[in-house]
Structure 1
Amino acid sequence: MPYLKEINGKKVLSVHDKPFLVLAGEVHNSASSSIECMESAWEKAISLGMNSLLLPVTWENIEPEEGIFDFALVDQLIEQARKYNKKIVFLWFGAWKNAQCYYAPAWVKKDVKRFKRAEVKKGHNFTNLEDFYGMPYTTLSYLCEETKKSDTRAFKELMKHIKGFDGEENTVIMMQVENEPGLQGAARENSDEADKIFKSEVPQEFVAFMKSNSDSMAEDVKKAVKSGAYDGNWSEVFGEVAEEVFSAYHVATYINSVASEGKKEYALPLIANCWLDKGQKPGLYPSGGPVSRMMEVWKFCAPEIDVIAPDIYVPNFMDVCDDYIKLNNPLFIPETVTHAYAGPRQLYVVGHYHALGYAPFGFEGMGEEFSAIDSYLFGVETADPLFEVPQDVHEYHWITKTLDDLSPLLLTKYGTTDLQAVSCERKDDDIMLFGEYGIKVMTESQMISRRDGVCLALKIADDEFYLIANGCIIHPFSLSKEKPYSGILSLEEGSYEDGVWKAYRRLNGDEVAIMRYEKPTLLRMKVYSYN
């Protein structure tokens, strides 16, 4: 069974007891509704070098009638993945998909008395989101026990079935529980029931946890927690952030119930993903979701969730990554854009953050013109000028395939300084230090025509490195006081296939004097120092 294990203190996915790096793509929401539609997606995944796909599996599909389950499509998707030699991360679209109940079965949607809707406005099961283009909005209540019971039962049956069908082959390697859960339109639900709970005593063990774990919190959350009462209702304990904390507590508790029962059947690693807050007020983004500012709440309420995963569609990509590695959370990016930085960012998150995995959303259209209007509607930042340039699909294939080939070496160096990376998106952080040697990477120069530079460095001996370089100039140097000068003993361009280095050509002369790379290149470099 796939599981998370620690290598040098860093969590890594293990499949058949071997470390596995998830180099994936997430399909459009409706692609996995039929295997006929999926054929072209698998072909595209092959053309991009991906080893896995993130695929929705929906509540409405597997339980069209209450208590009657149909897993035929799930089995077909697994068999299809095996045919194409790919792994699957299934995305459970249950009660929530983008903070709405799109994928709940008809028998849930139609019975609003049994399966209560969230009241954004008191007494109303429906609203138009005033701060979100007036979009029509309804969602299931995170306080409804009937919804939680039914959602949990469906996920439990799904996990039981996957274990029976795939427990030996391990085609399915992880599961995401719900999709971008939470509440839009308000920071919390406003029903009479929600008001009553909000005015009641906050569970004392939760207060104690928050008080003793405030160091990692966002500043406004920390301030509210530290200045709040040690007992009392939600407003008294959590002040200005009380409504968001209240929602996070109940959304996370709900999802932990679903996750816990699923794990009892088949304990695959479980993910919860989030729509970023982007510094906005809760309700404009889904309040209660596992955003970094609520991560402490989620760690307390949802211990069965193994990974909190950000969907990143903003220019400050690396700042977001920084926010989601706190509390020893392994970085996994289940959704991101397909613009010109898609490949370089994949390289960087592996080399710098030692990520579990990376998956551009809607990868089927990678290389094609990007629809900024549609993306902005669903939370994508159109101000990023890089959206104007689609990712080169041939370069993406090369990067992904090279990372996959090198992954047995890369993953053994997770959690160490032997694996590092530099990106032009943080051009001031341009030096990597490795014991007796350093490597400076320049991504801005008149000698470089492109502006998406990136370099990953893997130390394999005291004086030897693998380098993946693109759009940059590389300058190795000595850190030894006794031997301050350095030089290149050997530099080869090549590939790493089936655990063996295959040199394509040996570089010297001009190619060593200025180590400049205008296209993705894999190098093996051996250096020396002298006085």
Structure 2
Amino acid sequence: YNSDPEFVRSVLRAYHRPDNPLFVPEIAKTDGFAKYLFAALGEGALGFAPFGVDPHGWNILGGSPPTAHARNFAHLGPMSKEIARLNFEGKLKTAVEETGQPQQELDFGTWQVTIAYGYPQRDGRRAPGTSDAHGAALIAQLGPDEFLVTGVDASVNFHLPDRLPAMRMQILAAQEGAFENGAWKAVRLWNGDETDRGLQFHEDDPTVVRVRLGKF
């Protein structure tokens, strides 16, 4: 129930051990804690639950639903098996926004990922961050040059080590879709205007993208 990001991370790390699968049976129900689902998944969590999920019993929000938690569960639920498998295989990483840090990096070896939070994101300017630091991203490597990507109020840019995005690389395909019974079902291809400034994910329009990259 302490919302300090470093405190939450320290608790997650303390329980993430080879002899102890991480499980978060209780966390605050308010929206400010929803992003920690992504942090928990980044530490290999196999479960995550806000306090007072039963709508017929006592909870600190009265009759109000846990909006952000519900959004995350609805968004990630259809691919929970894939998330669990990719996490077990060590192929999944996450990023969670912190106040005053509107940009973060993830390392996938031959591919690096820049995550920037908040909108608008204008060319040549630092991302603004969100007003309450609720941004998050989840990225899983499916193959040497293929990734599964989603996020909340975040843009995701792939790039080669020590190079800026779009230098000596390009997005060959970006499929928006979902998993159905373990199979990926694409619903549409993102066009160049949707990818040339990074893959952009918005809180009010949850999407999942499977992206294939190329080097030259």
Q: Same fold (TM over 0.5)?
A: yes
Instruction: Tell me how far apart the structure 1 counterparts of residues 189 and 51 of structure 2 sit (CA, whole Å).
Output: 38
CA offsets 1:446-473 (integer angstroms, 9 cap, x no match): 4466641111111011000111211101
Q: Distance in 1 between matches of 2:70 and 2:12?
A: 26
- The secondary structure found in structure 2 opposite 1:458 is strand
Secondary structure of the 1:402 match is: helix
Question: Which residue number in structure 2 is paired with residue 511 of structure 1?
Answer: 194
- Distance in 2 (alpha carbons) for counterparts of 1:342 and 1:492: 30
Correspondences of 1:311-350 after superposition (within 5 Å): 313-316=1-4, 317-326=8-17, 328-350=19-41
Give 4+ residue runs of structure 1 displaced > 6 Å after superposition: none
**Per the alignment, in what secondary structure is the counterpart of residue 356 of structure 1?**
coil
Which of the pair has more CA radius of gyration? 1
1:354: which partner in 2? 44
Q: 1:425 is paired with a residue of what secondary structure? A: coil
Structure 1: where are the runs of 5+ without partners?
A: 1-312, 373-388
1:402 and 2:97 are equivalent in the alignment: no
Query: In 2 relative to 1, CA 484–348 (structure 1 residues): closer, same or farther, beyond 3 Å?
Result: same
Verify the 8 A CA contact 2:3 2:33 in the aligned structure 1.
no
Q: Secondary structure in 2 aligned to 1:501?
A: strand
2:134 to 428, 436, 452: 452
**Pair 1:466-2:142 in alignment:** no
Structure 2: unaligned runs, 5 residues or longer = 122-128
| Distance 1:318-1:331 versus aligned 2 partners, 3 A rule | same
Deviations 1:104-151 (A, max 9, x none): xxxxxxxxxxxxxxxxxxxxxxxxxxxxxxxxxxxxxxxxxxxxxxxx
CA contact (8 A) 1:342 1:391 kept: no
**What corresponds to 2:87 in structure 1?**
414
Amino acid at match of 2:183: V
- Judged with a 3 Å threshold, the aligned counterparts in structure 2 of structure 1 residues 325 and 413 are, in CA distance, closer, same or farther, namely same
Where do residues 219-234 of structure 1 align in structure 2 (5 Å cutoff)? Answer: none
- The alpha-carbon deviation at position 361 of structure 1 amounts to 1.5
Partner SS state of residue 354, structure 1: coil
How far does residue 314 in structure 1 lie from its aligned partner after superposition? 1.2
Matched-pair contact (CA < 8 Å) for 1:431–1:441: yes
Please give the TM-score of this superposition, normalised by the length of structure 1: 0.33
Question: What do the CA deviations read for 1:337-360 (whole angstroms, capped 9, x no partner)?
Answer: 11114443223312x101121111
Contact 1:488 1:527 in 2 (8 A): yes
Q: Which amino acid aligns with 1:362?
A: G
Q: Which protein has the bigger strand share?
A: 2
Q: Secondary structure at the match of 1:355?
A: coil
Alignment check: 8 A CA contact 1:370 1:390 kept: no
Q: Counterpart of 2:109?
A: 435
TM-score, structure 2 normalization:
0.76
**What CA distance in whole angstroms lies between the structure 1 residues aligned with 2:212 and 2:18?**
37
Question: RMSD of the TM alignment (CA)?
Answer: 3.2
Aligned to 1:494: 177
Between the aligned partners of 1:524 and 1:339, the Cα distance in structure 2 is 30
State the AA in 2 paired with 1:479. P
**Percent identity for Structure 1 against Structure 2:** 22
CA contact (8 A) 1:449 1:518 kept: no
C-alpha contact 2:79 2:178 (8 A) present in aligned 1: no
1:360-399 matched pairs, under 5 angstroms: 360-365=50-55, 370-371=60-61, 390-392=66-68, 395-399=71-75
The Cα shift of 1:416 comes to: 4.9
CA distance 1:428–1:318, shift in 2 (3 Å): farther
1:83-112 CA deviation, whole Å, 9 max, x = no partner?
Answer: xxxxxxxxxxxxxxxxxxxxxxxxxxxxxx
* Cα distance in 1 between the residues matched to 2:61 and 2:86: 38
> 1:471/1:486 Cα in 2 relative to 1: closer, same or farther (>3 Å)?
same
CA shift, 1:412, in A, is: 3.1
Q: Provide closer, same or farther for how the CA distance between residues 355 and 370 of structure 1 changes in structure 2, counting only shifts above 3 A.
A: same
Structure 2 distance, partners of 1:479, 1:421, is: 19
Counterpart contact for 1:348–1:455, Cα < 8 Å: no
Amino acid in structure 1 at the alignment position of 2:140: L
- Write the distance in 1 (CA, Å) between the matches of 2:105 and 2:145: 16
Q: Displacement of 1:328 after TM fit?
A: 4.1
